């Protein structure tokens, strides 16, 4: 079996990303090759697709001789990554049927956690082709704050943009409560492009599950169209991206 090793400077980035992935999919297959590390998987209900990519230049060490795959249980992977502390580097090393997750910190040495790989059939999923009519970019802190407010009130997130393209509106409704949050361009919104003033609705639960991953992201981009999946794209230092595609639901 192919062996490989790579090192990433901030273990907590992976801790936060995998914390969100774990809430949506049970297991998955990572691919490592000359381009970098990637994961593309669907949840069991086929409502959410997760697409992760980190270029090899993002890693401080990259020892990959040929393309290889490794399967993990995200519950077990996340359990280990929760041990990551400030200043820990993350080293992933695969030998035979085991995955070593190593936290390296100069003053403390190395802590090595070993977990078995799981045998999964790797299926290369195509990237969704969607014609988005609204595209927005916000700071990750704004995204987390907005979702926290919305999830306290309702189960459905409705997102819409006026034709003037000067703000993005996100709202949720409960049995008796309602919240509407306006994100104006130039303060809360970094960018906004509106081809058509569409609105669409999605389950708020999936956005709640993304909040951990957003904690380590620099920005969050939202792209959607009426009655189409929304693309939630998180950008990380070093060129990494974690993308969620969430299918729409009927507005209540």
Q: Which CATH architecture has domain 4-116?
A: Roll (3.10)
Fold annotation for 134-246: Proliferating Cell Nuclear Antigen (3.70.10)
d(CA 218, CA 137): 11
Structural tokens at position 114: 């070993």
Give the number of C-alpha atoms closer than 13 A to the C-alpha of residue 231, restricted to the C-beta side: 22
- Predicted local confidence at residue 119, as pLDDT: 86
The ranges of the chain annotated as CATH 3.10.150.10 are: 4-116
d(CA 214, CA 20): 9
Question: Model-level pTM?
Answer: 0.94
The ranges of the chain annotated as CATH 3.70.10.10 are: 134-246
Q: What angle do CA 107, 84, 214 make, to 5 degrees?
A: 130
Which pLDDT tens digits describe the chain residue by residue (252 residues)?
Answer: 557 899 999 999 999 999 999 999 999 999 999 999 999 999 999 999 999 999 999 999 999 988 888 999 999 999 999 999 888 999 999 887 899 999 998 777 899 999 998 988 888 889 999 999 999 999 999 999 999 999 999 999 999 999 999 999 999 988 778 999 999 998 889 999 999 999 999 999 999 999 999 999 999 999 999 999 999 999 998 899 999 999 999 765
d(CA 233, CA 130): 14
């Amino acid at each position: 079996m192919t062996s490989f090793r790579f090192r990433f400077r901030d273990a907590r980035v992976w801790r936060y990303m995998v914390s969100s992935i774990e809430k949506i999919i049970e297991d998955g297959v990572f691919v490592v090759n000359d381009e970098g590390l990637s994961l593309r998987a669907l949840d069991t209900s086929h409502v959410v697709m997760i697409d992760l990519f980190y270029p090899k230049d993002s890693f401080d060490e990259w020892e990959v001789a040929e393309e290889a795959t490794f399967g993990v249980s995200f519950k077990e992977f996340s359990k280990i990554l929760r041990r990551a502390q400030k200043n820990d580097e993350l080293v992933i090393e695969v030998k035979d049927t085991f995955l070593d997750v190593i936290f390296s910190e100069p003053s403390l040495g190395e802590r090595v956690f070993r977990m078995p790989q799981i045998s999964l059939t790797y299926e290369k999923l195509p990237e969704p082709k969607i014609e988005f009519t609204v595209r927005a970019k916000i700071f990750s802190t704004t995204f987390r704050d907005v979702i926290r407010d919305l999830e306290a009130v309702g189960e459905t997130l409705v997102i819409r943009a006026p034709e003037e393209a000067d703000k993005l509106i996100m709202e949720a409704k409960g049995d008796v409560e309602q919240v509407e949050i306006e994100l104006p361009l130039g303060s809360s919104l970094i960018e906004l492009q509106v081809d058509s003033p569409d609105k669409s609705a999605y389950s708020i639960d999936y956005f709640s599950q993304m909040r951990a991953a957003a904690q380590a992201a620099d920005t969050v981009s939202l792209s959607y169209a009426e009655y189409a999946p929304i693309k939630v794209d998180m950008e990380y230092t070093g060129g990494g991206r974690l993308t969620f595609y969430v299918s729409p639901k009927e507005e209540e």
